[in-house]
Structure 1
Amino acid sequence: MSDADRHRIITDLLKERPFASVRDLQEQLGVSAATVRRDIDKLHEIGKARKVYGGISASVGPGLSRIAARSYDENRDRAVEAKRAIAQAAAGLVRDGDSIIVHAGSTCYHLGLLLARRNVRLYTNSMPLAAYLGENGTCHLTIAGGELHREPRIIHDPAAGPPSFFASRFFVGTQGINNEGLLESHPLLTKVISELASCADEIVVLADSSKFSIQARNLVLPLSRVSTIIVDDGLSDANAKMLEDAGVTIVIAHPSGNGG
C-alpha cells in the first residue's frame, strides 16, 4: 500500500469519527506504529488532519472553519462512537433523584437513552428524545411546551420564556466552541439554550473534539458559565489549556478501542 493510499484511508476515516489512535490505524492499515506516526506527521504537516496526543484528529483545514449548522439527521450519523462514549460519561454524573435538563441534539439524545429508566426528573425540548422516553422510559418526564420545529427537532414556545423547571444540571451540546464560549448558527437554538441555562445550577457541555474547529455565528454562553465539558480523546493540548484557563473541568471520554 502506497503512502497516498494510506493517507486517503486515514482522511476518509476521520470523516466518520473525530479521532483515531495509533493503534486504530495500525489495525486498519496493517502497518507498524512507526509507519502510522510518519503518516500522522505528514497529514499534520500538509493540513489534512491534526496530530494530537495518542493519534490523529479530524481537521477542517488551516485555522477554524465557519460553516452553517448541519441538519439533525446529518449530525446524528457523525462521530457516533465518540458521542456514545461522551453520553456514558455524562450519565455517570447523574444521581438517583436528580432533576436535570437534557437539551436537543444528537449527543444529548444518547444521554437520554441511558437515563430512560433511571430514577430522575428529566426535562427535555427534544422531540426525538421525548418520543423515545414516552414509549420506553420510566423516568419522570417533563416536555417543553409549544410548537414543533422540525429542524432542529425541538419543541419551543417563543412567547413563554424560560420553563418553570429547576435543575441541578443542564446537559447541552453545541455547534462550535472557542475561547469565548459555546457557539451556534441557528438563532432559535441560541435563544433556547440561553433560556434553559438560567434554570440550572451547573452547565455540562457534551461535545466531540471536532467542535473546536467550528466557528459558528452566535455566542450562546461564555466559558465562564460552563462547569464541565465532556469530550472525546481527540482534544488538543491547546484546547485543553484554553478550557482549564477558563476554569472548566474536563472529562475525557474514550470511544471503544481508543483506550481505557
Structure 2
Amino acid sequence: MADTGLLAHQRQAMIAEMVRRSGAVRVAELVDQLGVSDMTVRRDLDALERSGVVKKVHGGAVAASDTAIDEPGFEAKSGLESAAKAAVAEAAATLVEPGSVIAVAAGTTAYAVAARLLHIPRLTVVTNSLPVAELVRSAGDEHGTGAPSLLLTGGSPTPSAALVGPLADQAVRSLHVDLLILGAHGVSEKAGLTTPNLAEAQTNRALVASARRVAVVADHTKWGVVALSGFAALDEIDVFVTDSALNTQARAALTEAVGELVVAPVAGA
C-alpha cells in the first residue's frame, strides 16, 4: 500500500466528494484509493461524522441527511452491510418452496434473496424491482425453462429502482402470492416498517395485502430507523429475518410482535 502523502484535510475533502457523488463509501475502497491504513480512514470518517458530512455505518459511511426523507439509490446501498445481507438472504431463501409464487419487493436485501432462488424449480417471481426483474430475466436466457417465470409490475421507477404508482398498485392488487420477500428502509417497534417514498409505501402495502405469508428481510442497521411513510406494522409480519448483530432489546421486541424471528449468523463476525 503506497502512501499518497495527502494531508488529513485533503483526504477528508476527497472522501466527502466521493460520498456526495455516490451516496456511500466503503472503508476497504478508501484504503485502496487513498493508499492509507484502515485506521487512518476510520479516523477521517470520524472527523467527517463530527462535522455532519457523513454518517458512519458498519464497513463504511453514507451521506449525512434526514433519514426520514432521504432515499439512497440502489447502487449506493448495494455495497453496504454485504456480509449481513448475505447471511439474511441465505436464511430467507430457505423459506421458498418449489412450485410457489413469490413476490420480491424492491431493495438490495430482497435482491440478494432473489439471487439465491434462481435454481428452485417451477418458481414464479412477481416483482416491482427492476434489478430483480433483470436478474430473473438473465437467468431465463442462461438456463431456459429451468429458471423462474417472471411477472414484472408496471409503474414509475424510484431512486431505489422500484416500480410504484397506480399501475404498479393495480397490478399487485389483482394477484395472490404464496410468499412476499419484503425489505424496509427502517424498522421500529412503534412505527413498524417505513420508507422515505410515499408512492413506494403505497405499493408495498398492496404487496403485503396480496401475500399469504410476509417475510421481512432487514439487517441490524435498519432497527430504530423511522422514515417518512409506514407500510406495515410488526404484527403483520409472519417471518422477520435479520442478522446476529441485532441487539438484545430489538430481538425481544420482534419476538413479541412478529410470527417468527430468524437470526442469521454472519460469517466472520
TM-score by length of 1: 0.71
- 1:176-216 per-position Cα deviation (integer Å, ceiling 9, x unaligned): 11113111111121111001111101111000000013121
Match of 2:131 among 120, 128, 131: 128
Give the SS at the match of 1:122.
Answer: strand
Whether the 8 Å contact between 1:144 and 1:163 is mirrored in structure 2 is no
- 1:178 pairs, out of 169, 174, 188, with 188
The gaps in structure 1 that reach 5 residues or longer are 1-14, 18-27, 30-47, 50-55
Q: 1:109 aligns with which of 100, 111, 114?
A: 111
State the alpha-carbon separation in 1 of the partners of residues 59 and 247 from structure 2.
8
Relative to 1, partners in 2 of residues 1:130 and 1:57: Cα closer, same or farther, differing over 3 Å? closer
Whether the 8 Å contact between 1:57 and 1:234 is mirrored in structure 2 is no
Letter of the 1:251 partner, please give it: V
The reply to whether residue 167 of structure 1 matches residue 198 of structure 2 is: no
Name the SS of the counterpart of 1:198 in structure 2. Answer: helix
Retained in 2: the 8 A contact 1:183–1:220? yes
**Where do 1:165-244 residues align within 5 Å?**
165-180=175-190, 181-244=192-255
Structure in which a larger fraction of residues adopt helix: 2
Separation in 1, partners of 2:241, 2:163: 25
| Structure of higher RCO (CA pairs closer than 8 Å, 6+ residues apart) | 1
Identity percentage of aligned residues: 24
For the 8 Å contact 1:171–1:206, the answer to whether it is kept is yes
Does the Cα contact within 8 Å between 2:124 and 2:148 map onto a contact in 1?
yes
- Structure 1 position 16, deviation (Å): 5.4
- In structure 2, the gaps of 5 or more residues are 1-24, 28-37, 40-54, 141-146
In structure 2, the residue matched to 1:139 is 148
| Offset from partner CA, 1:76-98 (integer Å, 9 cap, x none) | 11101111111111111111111
Task: Give the residue type in structure 2 aligned to 1:108.
Answer: A
TM-score (norm 2): 0.69
Count residues with an aligned counterpart. Answer: 207
